[in-house]
Amino acid sequence: MSSNQDHDLNIDGVSEKDVVNYLHKHPRFFENNIDLLAEMRLPHPSGTAVSLIERQVTILRDNNKALELKLNNLIKIARDNDKVNGRIQRVALALMETNQLDDVFYVVQDMLRSEFSADSVTLRLFRQPSNTTTIDDIAFIEQDDVLENMFSKFFEKKKPLCGPLDSLQAEFLFNDSAQDIASAALVPICDNECFGLLAIGSFDEKRFNSSMGTLFLSYIGEMIGRTLFHYME
C-alpha cells in the first residue's frame, strides 16, 4: 500500500479524518482502552518501532527540555533586569543629591562609566543654562539645520537609538575618541519636551545594536532631563 493510500485510509466508511476528529473530541479514549494503546507502534527517529506510550514519553521529555530552556532564559533576563534596575536606582539617587548644574554633568559622566561601563559619555543641551557654570560651552549647542540633518532619524523618532555612528556623527559627539567608538546609544534628554542629547559610546561594536531594548535608556534620559530642566533657561 502506498503512503498516499495510508494517508487516505478508509475502512467501512470511516476515514482517517473521522478517526482524528473522534480522538480530538474524546481525549480520554485510550484510558478506557489501555491495551490498545500499548499495542500501537510508531516509528522512532532512531529507526526502530516504539509503542505510542514510549513515543509520548519521548515527546513530553523533549517538550520539558524546551520549556526548561525557556524558563532558564526568562530567569536570566529577570536577573539581568534586576541588576539594571539596581544601577538605574543608584543613578537616580546620585542625581537627587545634586544641587547645581556642574554636579549633574559630573554625575552623568561618572555613573554611566562606573555603573554601565561606558567608554565615553557626551551630553549636549539645546538650551542655555540659567546661571553661570564651569561646564564647557560646547555642551550647549543650537538645534540648527546642520544638527537636524546629521541626526535626522534620532530627532524624528525622539527615542533612544542604538548602533554604529557614521564618521561625522562620531566626530561631533566624541571628538578625539571618535575613531575608537564602535557603537553608541543616542538618548533624548526630555522633561515636558526634549531639549538635549545623551551619547553613550563603546569601543565594542556589539555593545549597542539596533535590535536591543531601549526601555532602560529611556528611563535614564527622563531622569537626567527632569534633573537638568530646572537649570535651563
Confidence of residue 52 (pLDDT cuts 50, 70, 90): low
pLDDT in tens, 117-140: 999 999 999 999 998 888 887 899
pLDDT in tens, 55-107: 677 778 888 898 999 999 999 989 999 999 999 999 999 999 999 999 999 99
Confidence (pLDDT) at 123? 95
Query: What is the set of domains in the chain, with CATH numbers?
Result: 19-84 (no CATH), 98-231 (3.30.450.40)
Average pLDDT, the chain: 87
CA 179 to chain centre: 27
Measured CA to CA, the distance from residue 218 to residue 233 in angstroms comes to 23
Confidence (pLDDT) at 72? 92
Confidence of residue 53 (pLDDT cuts 50, 70, 90): low
Query: Within 13 Å and on the Cβ side, how many CA atoms surround 87?
Result: 20
Q: Stretch 184-207: mean pLDDT, rounded?
A: 94
pLDDT in tens, 60-71: 888 889 899 999
Instruction: Check whether 48 has a pLDDT greater than 80.
Output: no
Instruction: Check whether 46 has a pLDDT greater than 60.
Output: no
Instruction: Check whether 2 has a pLDDT greater than 50.
Output: no
Q: Can you read off the three cell numbers belonging to residue 132?
A: 553661570
Closest CA to 182 of 165, 158, 198: 165
Confidence (pLDDT) at 1? 41
